[in-house]
Structure 1
Amino acid sequence: MSDLRLPVAAVILLGITQIIGYGTLYYSFSILAPAIARDFGHSTEWIFALLSCALLAGGLAAPWIGKAFDLFGAGKVMCFGSVVASLALIICSLSSGMGSFAVCLLMLEVAANLVQYGAAFALLVQLQPAAATRSITYLTLIAGFASTLFWPFTSALHSWMTWQEIYRLFAVLNFAICFPAHLWLAGQLSRSRRQQNISAGPRAEIPGLLAPDRRRQGFLLMAFALSTQALLSSAILVHMVPLLTALGLGGIAVIAGSLFGPSQVASRLINMLFGRDLSPLALAIISAVLMAIAPVALLLGAPSIASAMLFACVFGFGNGLYSITAGTLPLHLFGSAGYGVLQGKVISARLVSSAFAPFALAFLLANAGTTISLLLLGFLGLISIGAFLAIDRR
């Protein structure tokens, strides 16, 4: 029964570090990108192109990072990631041109893979395999406040601070808060492993649902479906505020976009309270349906404020469940043995597929308009639904 206990302290600490990690390393970028582009004398599209290249580099590095989760323990990797993220933010703030900024941004996105959801999920699986599905659900419930806090927080800071000063402040947050938390978690994981080896031998593994002869096909379908969702999520999250602004919402864009975070939290809370009998695969299908509906709802209702709020809420519901299934679906289908390596491969597929999403959507918005852009986003959602249904048939 001890393995079924939720590691409450670990979940809370990881929730805090995920809020800071996603808020400083991801959500803030769309707010600061126009100022960065202005300072370097380039268009905003090119700044997002740099982000796409950095995401691609992070995706290519992810399989090795996944191996490090299993080899060294996810806690130690997250400690290292906090230090690298802090250094990358400081160096970014000191960049004198596009070339040096591009190198720093690449470093920043690789560091993000060391501290964000993939690493946190691996740590929870390593800490308590039997309770990992519940732990991941609770963690995503807390971390869902990242966008709600950091979009308005970054916007407020930017009204009286430069983007360079904001990056230095974010570096302090990563080092002063995230690093000590990850250090404590690494110690907890090491102690847990030592106690398990002394008292009861090897920790019991969680078996996967798929039969061995169906795992290769199952993994390819799962990676494709999650990658398609990641592409859709990346495109919208980076451009949430600019997209709503382009539809004529002006200052309401940040407020409407901020509903995304509470919606994520609400979907996870509803799932936690009433969705215990739903499998991770069923949640994945529901998530894909919601993410496909959201851009179409915005297109049909624009430019009304109500449609913008509905879009942010529905997309938040879908993305909230997606964040859960990205961690629980691999565990459900393939089990806990080698989970770190598996997460590394999934993260790689997701990041590589979505690497060009920020630049692509920025280009589409500038050259094809919002209607075509939103229709294409809805189509991506339909593709992911089909892939999940194909897994369900197996």
Structure 2
Amino acid sequence: MKSGVPAGIVAALGLTQIIGYGTLYYSFSILAPAMARDLGLTVEQVFGVFSASLLVGGLSAPLVGGWMDRFGAATIMTFGSAVSALALLLCAWSPSTAVFAIAIVLLEVASSMVQYQAAFAALVEIRPKAASRSITYLTLIGGFASTIFWPIAASLGEFLSWREIYIAYALLNLLVCLPLHRWIMRSRTPAAIESSGLNRDDHRRASRTGKAARHASCLVGLCLTGVHTFRDTDAYGPMLGAIGFGAAAVMIGSLFGPSQVLSRLINMTFGANLLPPMLAALSATLIVASVVVLGLSGTWLPGAVVFAICLGLGSGVNSIAQGSLPLWLFGSVGYGAITGRMAAARLAAGAMAPFVFSVLMERFGTDVALLANACLGAVGMGAFLAVALAAKRRPDALTL
């Protein structure tokens, strides 16, 4: 990454993203049944607690983003690694449902301090002019989190309790992620900050779009939120079973992770000249196409395979757009606060998506649920294109 973010920093962040997403997010669905049995709850109640934690995490995201702008993203990530370890230990110890719920909420708050929102902000701080490319590399590495941690959680579950697994996960965050985040924090010398690209043009752009950013970032956040609701594989799992795929649903779902990585690899190789708004629109298009294919193909297995691949491709591209689009629209100044507001909208909708999706399926059928998702994605596509055209015409057009 010549003239970009040092490769060592991108690699270190990539490793912490794999551990962060693997221990704080992806393993939960594997361990949830064991948690439910241990705590005397139903699996639905355990996922209900998780959905509530997503909502709280969304509410905390703007505050965390402001801290990143004030203290530095790497500093917040270092502190967040300690909070992650503490939350995992609290969850492992939890003697009651109330303590368990508090621990899960704390886990989600910690996630906003160590996952993509924070990692993207760290890259922007180090090299604003090269951050978009570095974000692509980072998401390529981070895309292996589910591929690595789903089987790890399943294998460990055969001879360890979920509490013991969470203790091991806490040690990973404490002994691997925290030192790496601290190293990144200490590597940002005053000279590196001065040469990172925060020049007069960035400050003029920030001043010019300061008020517009507060409005336009909400719109972009809602667009990303609309796409995010499609990407909830926990919602699509029951749907594939309801359609009639049975055990094949697991095989279909296994295509999602590799497709995510493939889309990021393709973008890294061929997408250097593709503007972030077009990247976001492409993501929405792929996800809408996946839903349409599934709705039309019914129980035809090749159609479900195309669905999983398109969904994974769109999701992979969307992760890149989440980091590069606000940087393209608003510049690097105040990046943490802007992405925090976007994350708040995205996570709030993500918390509601599985519930709304399941209600639509139960009351109106799978076809109506798919149609509703397709319409929402189409709105997201149009909004992405509208933002791109507004920004291209004149900066003041962002004031909505």
Task: Judge same fold: TM > 0.5, yes or no.
Answer: yes
Distance 1:38-1:317 versus aligned 2 partners, 3 A rule: same
Which of 370, 373, 378 is matched with 2:369 structurally? Answer: 373
Distance 1:195-1:289 versus aligned 2 partners, 3 A rule: closer
Question: Does 1:170 pair with 2:169?
Answer: yes
**Paired position in structure 1 for 2:157:** 158
Distance 1:387-1:195 versus aligned 2 partners, 3 A rule: closer
Provide TM-score, normalisation by structure 2.
Answer: 0.88
Distance in 2 separating the partners of 1:206 and 1:231: 36
SS of residue matched to 1:5: coil
Distance in 2 separating the partners of 1:347 and 1:17: 19
1:311-390 equivalent positions in 2, closer than 5 A? 311-364=307-360, 369-390=365-386
Question: Does 1:9 pair with 2:5?
Answer: no
Moved more, 209-218 or 375-384: 209-218
**Paired position in structure 1 for 2:395:** none
Identity of matched residues, %: 45
**Paired position in structure 2 for 1:23:** 22
**Paired position in structure 2 for 1:220:** 218
**Paired position in structure 1 for 2:396:** none
SS of residue matched to 1:167: helix
Distance 1:10-1:361 versus aligned 2 partners, 3 A rule: same
Distance in 2 separating the partners of 1:230 and 1:381: 9
Distance in 1 separating the partners of 2:196 and 2:221: 33
Question: Does 1:104 pair with 2:119?
Answer: no
Give yes or no for contact 1:7–1:128 (8 Å, CA) kept in 2.
no
Distance in 1 separating the partners of 2:193 and 2:207: 28
Distance in 2 separating the partners of 1:231 and 1:101: 26
SS of residue matched to 2:98: helix
SS of residue matched to 2:159: coil
Q: Deviations over 1:336-380 (max 9, x none)?
A: 111111111111121122222234345555665544433332232
Tell me by how many angstroms 1:210 deviates.
11
Give yes or no for contact 1:210–1:334 (8 Å, CA) kept in 2.
no
Moved more, 351-360 or 177-186: 351-360
Distance 1:211-1:387 versus aligned 2 partners, 3 A rule: farther
1:1-394 equivalent positions in 2, closer than 5 A? 4-189=3-188, 191=189, 193-197=190-194, 203-204=198-199, 207=202, 212=209, 215=213, 217-233=215-231, 236-364=232-360, 369-394=365-390
Tell me by how many angstroms 1:194 deviates.
4.1
SS of residue matched to 1:161: coil
Q: State the number of aligned residues.
A: 387
SS of residue matched to 2:60: helix
Tell me by how many angstroms 1:121 deviates.
0.3
Distance in 2 separating the partners of 1:30 and 1:206: 45
Give yes or no for contact 2:264–2:317 (8 Å, CA) kept in 1.
yes
Letter in 1 for 2:388: D
Give yes or no for contact 2:26–2:146 (8 Å, CA) kept in 1.
yes
